[in-house]
Structures are given as structure tokens and as C-alpha cells.
A and B are shown apart, each in its own frame.
Chain A
Amino acid sequence: MKILVKNDDLCIGCGACEEVCSTAYFKENNIEKSCIQVEKGEDNKINVCNQCGVCIDICPVMVIGRNKSGVVRINKRDCVGCFMCVGFCPELSMRQHDDYIEPFKCVACGLCARKCPTAAIAIEDVEKEGKEKL
């Protein structure tokens, strides 16, 4: 399945990934609307969905599922906006913003990886069990 893999050691906290993500999906340069978010400091920590799929079983209306590439997607049309998936995400990488009544998440599109100047993030195709890699 397709996932975005990360290497915190290479991250310089420049914010290019957040900008490209929020701009692509929400037409706005706003970290809070980015699926990938970096906690910046002495050590930069990249937070992004690893497609583990815990949210699939949490969803009360079964609108979260995997696509053919194994990427976990939300069917926003039928989402009831309960945000249980946000509270139960083990990676804290299911996002929510008050401008929207549905959550959002990384779909491993790779836009951010292409922008990253240090190759701290990259799209990889891994076996399901490969998520331990993260």
C-alpha cells in the first residue's frame, strides 16, 4: 500500500510540505489545514497518517475505508462529523478544522514529498505489515 514515510532527522522544519498540502486541498496556506504537520523545535517531528486503518473500525457509519492502493480515505459525503476518528487516531494525525464538519487526512498523494528540500518525506509502496517501518 502507498504511504508517506518520514525521517525526522532530515527535516529542517521549513514548512514547505504544510504549505503545499493545505494549498492543494483547502486553497489556503494554513498549517492547521495541512494533513502533514511538523512540530518544529530543536528536533523537528513530522506528524502524518501512516495508513494504519484504526479509524476504519472506529467510524460509526463505515465511511472510512481503503482504496485500491491501500490508502485510507474518508467518504465525506456520508460522514456524520462525529470526529471519533480524530480522538481515536493512535498517531494523532486525523485532522479536524472548525471550518469543516468532516475530518481530513493524508491520502499519500506525494505533493509534499516532491516539495521537500531534504527528502525527509517520501512516498513508498509497502506491504501492509511494512508499516512497522515507521
Chain B
Amino acid sequence: MDVKALKAAHKLLAEYKYEPAKLKKGYTDKTLYINIGDNRIEAKDVPASMKEKFIGGKGYGLKYLWDATTPETKWNDPENEIVIAGGPLCGITQYPGAGKSLVVTISPMTDIPIDSNVGGYFGPYLKFSGWDALEIQGKAKEDIIIYIDGNNGVIRIDEAPLEAIDGHVVSEELTEMYADSEEDKKNISVISAGTAANHANIGLLNFSFYDIRRRVARLKQAGRGGIGRVLRDKKIKAIVIKFKGTKGDLNKPANQSLINKAGIKLHKQIHDYDDVQCRMRQIGTANIIEVMDEYDLLPTHNYQYGNHPDTHKIASNVFVEKYITQGMPDGCWFGCSLSCAKAADNFELKTGSYKGHKVTIDGPEYENAAGLGSNCGIFDPEMILEANFYCDTYGVDTISFGTICAFAMECYERGIINKEITGGLELKFGNAIAQLELLHQMSRGEGFGALIGLGVKQLKRIFVEEHGADPDFLNDIGMEQKGLEVSEYLPKESLAQQGGYGLTNKGPQHDEAWLIFMDMVNNQIPTFEDKAEALHYFPMFRTWFGLMGLCKLPWNDTSPPDNHLTDEPAKMPEHVQHYVNIYNGVTGSNIDKDELILQSERIYNFQRIFNIRRGKGLRKHDAMPYRAIGPVTFEEYESRKERYDQQLKDLLDYNPEGKTTEEKIKIMREYRLNQYELLTDAVYKRRGWTPNGVPTIEHLSKIGMELPELVEVVKNHI
């Protein structure tokens, strides 16, 4: 690759010089605003009131997005922003999982704010370069690259006509271009999307980190909600940051000792127990593929079923033994000893624009194996790896793509769509080549693949309007809510997880609450009140990671050996205390575990009201497709007939003997939908919301968020 030629074609549009602000107790209190419409680059001071209420990370992102947009702003309006922010803990190196960036924008999928949590080195380097957040607004006329040199205090906007758009190529090109030497490459991080994000609303962002052992730029993804589409709509090819000189105390913490103690304790625990617990260092999140299958929770054939006889072909050990290397180490930020990232090295591609290339593939994560694999009836590990690679480099959200593809495959198998509509693709479950072809089409913006890139919500409309499909049936089996596709867990038999998906701010993504084991397997939250408490606590607790710049995995994918003896094992009390300690250690505050929840509650309610401000965020928007709640079809009921018949007897006092399956489905449906409504009532009450899902003014006052702009929105709904 001749990066000199690429660079020579750059045309400088704007340059800004600054004195990088010094970090103090986790903050610089400066944020960077870049308007690429008029090439304006400005520094902003963070007011104390904003810091107090919005904390950082996703809190800052949502606050800036609120201020920058109106209730009518569409995702592709120039005023829509992409905001990237770490948080006060982002960039510490002693505690695992502390290098995350939180990205926020108005989503092309949901028309409300989306937030996505992503690894790679960008977030820490942004902070070390003097900025607590980066706001990007406006639209460029031609493709541009934004470059931030955090050591010399220079920011450039360049027109960049020649660089590639696909994530793995442009990340390599720009790492090469901006590094002074091989050794310098670890000081570069690149944000990019991919060619599919030129067209597909499910476009994602890739954040790079340079792997010094494999000598390749690895990619982590801000996957959900189409942020990559927004990046490409703004004609941004990449955002590059360079910062040299990372040390363990650049956050200038108030009390380094508290952080050291927590971090070393966790490193030691991971060293001692990970091999017999989650094996995150061996295989990462993919360790649960076979576990999900065993518990009947692995989404299969568009969430109709929860297991499959062929799952052993894509079990975690298959990837460990045949394809991937890991543990070199594979943290996506320095100091992450959980090291869940992994790579298939020298993988030769069989299809598409890079056919024959030998590439490094990050993954598969559990979600990729389940979404691209089992949910589409595909149990070929090489095809899953290949689809994983193309999703990343084309800039496609694997979760949405998997779920959309599964939906289209079910529609095809049921005759709702046919070959004429798919452009000749035989879109049956298990057809991996067809699935890959959809990706290649999406990257070119052509054919049925381009339609797939619009998402399940749009596909339902198209199939109804143009192909005469039954809207009720499609609403039952199309696994999206608020416009976002459901992530890859089968929630049918866990009421709490239905709420974990449905009663969320951004849409059905499991990062707010994953309660299936607590609810269904361990029966720890039997009553509505128990479930409501869990659906209050866990979403709030998990929101906190997004305020800080932290990863969720080191919280509960490794356990202290005596965790089961604690009062509340599901909360991991020792780890919660670590978080309290590292927060206090960095910021010099003196919070406790309750204050931690309060910090999150403020942002959670702010985001809810942001949705309401945009005409969403009410009870009707929290309804879930019935496929998430119970058996839609004859086959689904029959596949679990014994369980369902027994439930009719035990829970409804209904004798299934002599009844047709259709009759039983109807009775079951009424019961389960009612359960979901009762759960919704209990959760809203616990969260301090009206029965319509609106935060009350009393509640806002209680949590210190009675801000005039929020009261203005909610008072119209109370």
C-alpha cells in the first residue's frame, strides 16, 4: 500500500491548534466540537452543573445531542451529531475493561437516540489528547478524514479522496500513514465504517487498536443502531487520533492506591479462576454458544426454537481448536486481563470483494455466532467467520443483520416472499452463501441485500405494501422493537427478559438487563415485584458503565470464589465495591453503591424523556413482538408441547386435553401478553414512572433531575 500517494491527494480544509488541557481527577473539563459543514473547530468548557448531573460518557453524549437537535431532527439532518466520549474512568490501565468509548446519535433505525459502547484505543487517546468528548455536527461535501494529534495539539480536516472505505483496509492505511514507525502504530486509533454503511441503515462504526503481536489493526465495533450510516451520510471516511506516551496515571487520579488495589485483586482473580469459570481468556463471549443451546435459549430459525442438533458444529471449542488464537493478550485496552478479544489469523476468504485474501478476523463474539449462525440455521463455522469479517469491514451490525436475515429467511420459507423478490436468492434457513451474497449486495447498495440493510421494521412495511403479506403475522415474527432488531437471546420463557428487552430506552439490546438465568434457570425473582426490582436495579447499574467508559464484562463474567455466599450473588457485591473504589479513587469523590445507582438513574430518565420529546418513549413503544413472548405458530407450540400444556394446567387451570393446538396457542397468548402488561405496570411503578411510562415530576425531583427542559416535556404527558 502506497500511503504517500493517498496522503498526497489530501486537501486541507481546516486546521486548529490547541494546548492540550491537563487531566485532573479523570477529567479535562474541555470538549471538542467539530462542524464539518462549515469546517469549524472549537473547544468548549464543561460547566460544573453538566459534570455533576451528566457525569461523562453516554451522559455527556446525550446532553450534547439534546442541545444540538430539535424534536424534529432526523438522523440525516446536518444538525444530528455523533458524540464520542469516554468518561472519568476511561483510560485507567489497572482495572480491566476501562478503555471504552460511548457513541451517541439520532439513530436511522429508531429515530431516537442510540448509544453504543465500544472498545479500541480511541476513547482513552481522546482524553489524553485533552478532550472529555468529541461532538461532530454538519455534513461534509466530499469524503473527509478528521485527524487529531494529541501530543502536538493539532486537529485537521482533510478531503481524502483515495483511501478505502471498508473498515479493515482504511484502518490499516491510516495507521500506516500517521505512525512514524512500527513501534508508533500502537499510538494510533482509527474510527471508520465500511461500504455497506454508505447504504444500509444498520451501518456500524469500527474502532481500531493496533495489535503489536499480530502486527495488524484490529477492529472493535459500535454496532447497534446505525451510527456508521450517520458517519457515512456525513461523508466522514475516518476519524484518526494519535497519542504517544500512555502511562498508568494519566487520568491524574485523586487516589491511585484505591485503583491499584482493586485492579490487582481482579487480575489475580481472573488468573486463578477464569479457566474454570467463563473462559473469557480462551474464547471470550463465545463460551456460551453451547450453554445457550443446552438451556433452550439459543435463537434458532428466527427465534422459533432455542436449540438445534447441529449446535455442536459451532460450539466454542470448534473455534478454539480450529480457527482462532487468543491470549496474546487480547484486551481491547491496556490492562484488560479478561482479554476477551480474539482473532482468526490468516483466514482465507471464499467470497466477495476480498475473495482469496488472507485476513485477520476479530471474533466471533457469541452474538455473531448466534445471529449469523443458529438464528439463520447456519452451523458452518467458516461461513460464520466469513460473514463476521464482511459485517465488520463493510460496517454492518452483526446483530441486526443476523436478526433481519433470519426474519427474511422465515418469510421465504413460509412463502411470504419468493425468488422473484429476493432476486434469485434461495433464502432458506442454512443457506450461508445466500446470506453472504446479501452482505455483498449491501456493500454495493444493490438488490435484495440493500433492502435487508433497512431493517426488519422497514421490511415488514415493504412486504405488506408491495407483496400483500399479513401485517399481523409479520408483526408477530419480526423481531424488532422501536425499529431496532432484538439481540441474540430467546426470551420466550423468561418474562423478566422480555422486560429486559422491551422496557429499554434504545431498543431490545441485552446490555441493559440480562435476567434469563436469574429468572428462568435459578428462579431468584419469582414475583412481579422481584422482577420489577431487577428491572430497576440492573439497567441502572449497567447504565453506569456507559457513564464511566467501562466495559460490562469484568463485572460478572468473572466471579470472586465466595460470591455465592454473599447476600446478593447476582449483583456481585465485591465487584460493585471495586467500582465504587475506582470511581472514588479517580475522582476523589466519596460515593457509595446507592449513589452509583442515582448517577445512572439521572441519565436513564433523561434518555427516556429524550425519547418522549421525540414523540416516542411511551408505553405503546415498549410492546414486544409476540415471538419474543410466546409461541406464534403451530410448530413452535408443538416443539415445546409438554411444557406449554403443563403451564396451561398449572398457571391457568386450563385442561389442554382434546383442545386443538390453535386453541391452546390463543389461550396461552392471552395469558402471556397479560403477564407482560402486569410486568410493565410493576416496572414503571418501581422506576417512578406513570402507567404510560413517563417519569413523574416528583421522581425527577427526587433524583435531582427536575430540570426545566425535562419538566417541559413530561408535563404534557401527566
User: Hey, which bits of chain A sit against chain B, CB under 8 A?
Assistant: 57-58, 60-62, 79-84, 86-88, 96, 98, 101-102
| Residues in A whose Cβ lies below 8 Å from that of B264 | 83, 86-87, 96
Find out whether the CB atom of B267 lies under 8 angstroms from the CB atom of A80: no
**Is B703 positioned at the interface, with any CB of A under 8 Å from its CB?**
no
Q: Are B337 and A80 in contact (CB under 8 A)?
A: no
Chain B residues near A62: list those with CB within 8 A: 212-213
**Which B residues fall within an 8 A CB radius of A?**
93-94, 186, 212-213, 246-249, 256-257, 260, 263-271, 328-329, 331, 334-337
Q: A82-B263, A96-B260, A101-B248 are in contact. List 9 more A-B contacts (CB 8 A).
A: A80-B334, A82-B94, A82-B334, A82-B335, A83-B267, A84-B267, A84-B337, A98-B256, A98-B257
- Taking the closest CB of chain B, its distance from the CB of A104, in whole angstroms, is 13
**Inter-chain contacts of B247 with A (CB < 8 A):** 79-81, 101
CB distance from B398 to the nearest CB of A (A): 26
Say whether A87 contacts B337, CB under 8 Å: yes
Contact of B248 among A57, A58, A80, A87 (CB under 8 A): A80
Task: Please state if B335 and A60 are interface contacts (CB–CB under 8 Å).
Answer: yes
Question: What CA separation (Å) do A79 and B269 show in the bound complex?
Answer: 22
Chain B residue contacts of A60, Cβ below 8 A: 329, 331, 334-336
Q: Are A82 and B248 in contact (CB under 8 A)?
A: yes
Smallest CB separation, A99 vs chain B (Å): 9
B246 partner residues in chain A, CB cutoff 8 A = 80
Which residues of chain A are near B256, meaning CB under 8 Å?
A: 98, 101
CB distance from B104 to the nearest CB of A (A): 28
Listed by A's residue number, 10 A-B pairs whose Cβ atoms lie within 8 Å are A58-B329, A60-B331, A61-B334, A62-B213, A82-B248, A83-B267, A87-B266, A98-B256, A98-B260, A101-B247
Which residues does chain A contribute within 8 Å of B266, judged by CB atoms? 87
Known: A60-B335, A61-B334, A62-B213. A81 touches B248 (CB 8 A): yes
Pairwise interchain contact A83-B260, C-beta atoms closer than 8 A: yes
In the complex, chain B residues whose CB is within 8 Å of the CB of A101: 247-249, 256
Residues on B with beta carbons closer than 8 Å to the beta carbon of A98 = 256-257, 260
User: Pick the contact of A61 from B212, B249, B269, B336 — CB < 8 Å?
Assistant: B212
In Å, the complex CA distance between A87 and B335 comes to 11
- Pick the residue among A57, A61, A81, A87 that contacts B271 (CB under 8 A): A87
Give min CB distance, B603 to chain A, whole Å.
28
Whole-angstrom CA separation of A98 from B260 in the bound complex: 7
- Assuming the contacts A101-B248, A101-B249, asked whether A83 and B263 have C-beta atoms less than 8 A apart, the reply is yes
User: How close is B261's CB to chain A, nearest CB, in angstroms?
Assistant: 8
B93: chain A residues at CB < 8 Å are 80-82
Distance of A63 from chain B, by nearest CB (Å): 10
Q: Given contacts A61-B186, A96-B260, is CB(A84)–CB(B329) below 8 Å?
A: yes
The complex places the Cα of A88 from the Cα of B260 at a distance, in Å, of 14
The answer to whether residues A83 and B271 also contact, given A62-B212, A62-B213, A101-B247 and a CB cut-off of 8 A, is no
B79 CB to nearest A CB, Å? 39
In the complex, the chain A residue whose C-beta lies closest to that of B93 is A82
**Nearest CB of chain A from residue B303's CB, rounded to whole Å:** 38
Docked pose: A97 CA to B263 CA in angstroms:
13
Cα–Cα distance between A86 and B94 once the two chains are bound (Å): 10
- A83-B337 Cα distance, complex, nearest whole Å: 10
Report Cα–Cα, A58/B330, bound state, in Å. Answer: 10
| B549 CB → nearest A CB, Å | 16
Question: Smallest CB–CB gap between A53 and chain B, Å?
Answer: 15
Give Cα A87 to B256, complex, Å: 17
- Whole-angstrom distance from the CB of A87 to the nearest CB of chain B? 2
Q: Which residue of A57, A80, A102 contacts B335 across the interface (Cβ within 8 Å)?
A: A80
**Complex interface: chain B residues within 8 A of A61 (CB):** 186, 212, 334
Query: Bound state CA distance, A57 and B246, in angstroms?
Result: 20
Enumerate chain A residues within 8 angstroms of B269, measured Cβ to Cβ.
Answer: 87
